[in-house]
Amino acid sequence: MTAKFSESDCQPVSLSSASEDDATWTHLVQSSVPGLGFLFEVTGKPWTAWVGVLGLVFAATIAGLLGFGGGMHHKYENENGNYNYYADFLGRSGTTASTSGSSNNCPSSAAATEIIAPDTFYSHSPSACTSSSLTSTCANPLNILSASSLSSSPAGMIMAAPSPSLDAALRVAREFDLPSDQAQRGVDEFLSQMAEGLAKNGTTLSQIPTYVTSVPNGTEKGLYLAVDLGGTNFRVCSINLKGDSTFDLTQNKVAIPRDMMVAPSYKQLFKFLATQIEAFLEEHHNEHFEATVRRRRLTGTTDQYRREEIFDLGFTFSFPVHQTSINRGTLIRWTKGFDIPDAVGKDVCLMLQDAINELHLPVRVAALVNDTVGTLMARSYTSPGKTETLLGAIFGTGTNGAYVEKLDKVTKLDVKNDRTIDHTKNQMVINTEWGSFDNHLSVLPNTIYDQQLDAESVNPGIQMFEKRVSGMFLGEILRRAVLALTKDSEAKLLQTEGNLIPSDSPLYEIWGIDTSFLSIIEADTTSDLTATKAALFEHFKVSNATTDDAQAIKAIGHAIAKRAARLSGIALAAILLDTKRIDTDETVDIGVDGSLVEFYPKFVDYMREAMREIKGIGEKESKVRIGIAKDGSGVGAALIALVAHKEYAIGQR
Ligand code: BGC
């Protein structure tokens, strides 16, 4: 068995493999200090193992004090036949541990952890283990993080012998590694696609001008309606902006029925939306509803509403739109599983306004907003201090970002002659539509599972970044990888004790596995992965999964999500570099929203880790403040409706 340390500057060490059918408890120790090499094995009851451990601690400590670095390896087997391997480094700061002729520095007293299979690693989550030393205790001895996560896990590490399923799963997991050099190439390409998108239309990164030229400062006031058509839900809200960075929000939320997403005509979808607005007004603004809508219906009046009776509504429409003014924009394409061809090329505000008018509601669609723009606005309204937010980003069902760009860089607009643009601040919010970054796959990773998913999606070849990053797709990537291993005659995932997968398992259905499954298993820190097994029952209908199965699935899920987070870091890093705000500002504020950032443990940490690896960012990453902009799209839409209302009022005078 070959073991490697994840610390990039530690050398590989060899572990002697012990027979799998050793007695109940076996302790095997090997030092990797050249010349010191000793090896002993204690076989028998657990206490004898610990005697061995203590002896070893003593010997290794002496070695450390004398200036030798020492790599110690320990294997334990418990009554259930499970193996745990420990590899600890002891020694003074900066001492050298070496096994293969060359030498490298290993972190001082890092209890380097690992390893299971040839050329693969796994470790505890650092938080699950108490510090270094041979007696380190881990609440979660089998919490697999993956090879590349080891560098962030300097404390106590553990190893267990791989089962064939785990072994195979770790191999699959490694296909999702995104090394630093690939991340760097990603940022370089993102920067060049950003520039191209600002210069012309029809590029892969759309860089859509939003006509929003300033961000709020928290003093805005008023009552506005907002609706939010995202990937999964439709929300109707009324927002009372209080002018002191706070707001009250009332909302109704409904899941968008699947058949609406692929309705034969846009009319069905927009009628459904207008009906939800009507129900909301009736429920939450009943007095107003009675005084306006009901009165007119009862009397059969078709009089126009008076201006003061009309609600201004901000429409958050989370799909790519070619925007031509603050409340005009045509749909470029559907994403996130929607597919209603006759809507493409039509003005989304008009489609909604027509449906609202059919129901005679006192509502004017005043502003059109992408959810990322809403997030940016909401974060800027609520964020602490005077810092203006640079970027609003969504990592939910879909992914995208909108940022504040210098107006004179948006060369595809006729900025000088366009009288609808406010030039005062020489800036405009740009909706990148980064879900379509690198559709031609010049830098994005492309595993077999990515390829299969894309081929069977409603929009092959499109939204290639989104298909590797966002919540709509991660569960499906995992499903495909797991399914492949269940069919593999060597890996035998979920097959060791007979086929554990019922024929009606969502594992057999495209889009059957929700990304929330990945968050649940990642958060599982129980030693026998109880929560993962329960989630396997709930999401896969698989009961009696073994701990090996659970570990294998957890390892793959972790790798898929970590890749997604690191890819997200590429987008953020590129925007920090493009705008140069990382060099000029004390603090760079970013607002985020979406289920992945909210619920996936460490998503933001992995994103930050990737950003730090990028040239020009490095340590400056610590200047970046990332905050959740909860309800961002609703509040943001209200804020833009407010701006639009002011402009409209001026126009009416
Ligand atoms: C859409 C974007 C949206 C993002 C997040 C993507 O699929 O194209 O417009 O901002 O999802 O909801």
Paired residues of 221 in beta bridges: 242
Instruction: Report CA(374)–ligand 1 centroid distance (Å).
Output: 12
Residue 133 is predicted with a pLDDT of 25
pTM: 0.73
**Token reading at 111:** 């209890």
Instruction: Report CA(241)–ligand 1 centroid distance (Å).
Output: 25
- Whether residue 308 is predicted with pLDDT greater than 90 in this model: the reply is no
**Token reading at 25:** 């408890």
Residue 30 is predicted with a pLDDT of 30
Let me know if 318 is a catalytic residue.
yes
Tell me the pLDDT band of 316, cut-offs 50, 70 and 90. Answer: very high
**DSSP secondary structure code for residue 343 in this structure:** G
Tell me the pLDDT band of 573, cut-offs 50, 70 and 90. Answer: very high
Contact 638, 597 (CB under 8 A): no
Instruction: Report CA(403)–ligand 1 centroid distance (Å).
Output: 14
Out of 167, 347, 371, 593, the active site residue is 371
pLDDT digits (tens, 9 = 90+) for 441-487: 999 999 999 999 999 999 999 999 999 999 999 999 999 999 999 99
Q: What is the largest CA-CA distance in the chain?
A: 100
Kindly list the protein residues whose Cβ atom lies closer than 6 A to any atom of ligand 1. 230-231, 318-320, 335-336, 370-372, 394, 396, 398-400, 433, 435, 466
Given ligand 1 and candidates 371, 377, 463, 597, which is best to mutate, with the most ligand atoms within 8 Å of its CB? 371
pLDDT digits (tens, 9 = 90+) for 4-53: 223 232 222 222 223 332 323 333 223 333 333 323 333 333 444 444 44
For ligand 1, atom 8, the nearest C-alpha belongs to 319
Residue 73 is predicted with a pLDDT of 34
pLDDT digits (tens, 9 = 90+) for 508-565: 999 999 999 999 999 999 999 999 999 999 999 999 899 999 999 999 999 999 999 9
Which atom of ligand 1 lies closest to the CA of 333? 8
Q: Which residue has the higher pLDDT, 583 or 292?
A: 583
Instruction: Report CA(397)–ligand 1 centroid distance (Å).
Output: 8
Instruction: Report CA(521)–ligand 1 centroid distance (Å).
Output: 26
For ligand 1, atom 2, the nearest C-alpha belongs to 319
For ligand 1, atom 6, the nearest C-alpha belongs to 398
Three-class secondary structure assignment of 621-648: HHHEEEEECCCHHHHHHHHHHHHHHHHH
pLDDT digits (tens, 9 = 90+) for 637-653: 988 888 777 666 655 55
pLDDT digits (tens, 9 = 90+) for 43-94: 333 444 444 444 444 444 444 444 333 333 333 333 333 333 333 322 222 2
Residue 295 is predicted with a pLDDT of 75
**DSSP secondary structure code for residue 330 in this structure:** E
For ligand 1, atom 7, the nearest C-alpha belongs to 398
**DSSP secondary structure code for residue 293 in this structure:** I
Q: Which of 89-93, 277-281, 373-377 has the lowest mean pLDDT?
A: 89-93
CB atoms within 10 A of CB 432: 28
For residue 579, CA distances in Å to 427, 501, 573 come to 11, 51, 10
Instruction: Report CA(60)–ligand 1 centroid distance (Å).
Output: 55
Instruction: Report CA(400)–ligand 1 centroid distance (Å).
Output: 5
CA dihedral 387, 431, 206, 396 (to 10 degrees): 100
- From the list 331, 574, 330, the residue with the least C-alpha distance to 437 is 574
Contact 641, 366 (CB under 8 A): yes
**DSSP secondary structure code for residue 41 in this structure:** E
Residue 50 is predicted with a pLDDT of 47
Which atom of ligand 1 lies closest to the CA of 472? 7
Quick one: angle between helices 471-487 and 164-174, nearest 10? 140
pLDDT digits (tens, 9 = 90+) for 165-194: 999 999 999 999 999 999 999 999 999 999
Instruction: Report CA(433)–ligand 1 centroid distance (Å).
Output: 7
Residue 386 is predicted with a pLDDT of 67
Contact 206, 433 (CB under 8 A): yes
Which atom of ligand 1 lies closest to the CA of 466? 7
Contact 613, 184 (CB under 8 A): yes
Residue 466 is predicted with a pLDDT of 98
Let me know if 333 is a catalytic residue.
yes
Q: Which residue has the higher pLDDT, 330 or 77?
A: 330
Given ligand 1 and candidates 204, 316, 319, 429, which is best to mutate, with the most ligand atoms within 8 Å of its CB? 319
Given ligand 1 and candidates 333, 370, 470, 515, which is best to mutate, with the most ligand atoms within 8 Å of its CB? 370
Question: Cα 584 from chain centroid?
Answer: 27
For residue 517, CA distances in Å to 233, 522, 531, 561 come to 19, 9, 10, 11
Out of 146, 318, 519, 568, the active site residue is 318
pLDDT digits (tens, 9 = 90+) for 234-273: 999 999 999 888 899 999 999 999 999 999 999 999 999 9
pLDDT digits (tens, 9 = 90+) for 385-407: 667 899 999 999 999 999 999 99
Out of 163, 167, 333, 479, the active site residue is 333
Q: Are β-strands 96-100 and 83-90 bridged in parallel, bridged antiparallel, or unpaired?
A: unpaired
Given ligand 1 and candidates 375, 394, 596, which is best to mutate, with the most ligand atoms within 8 Å of its CB? 394
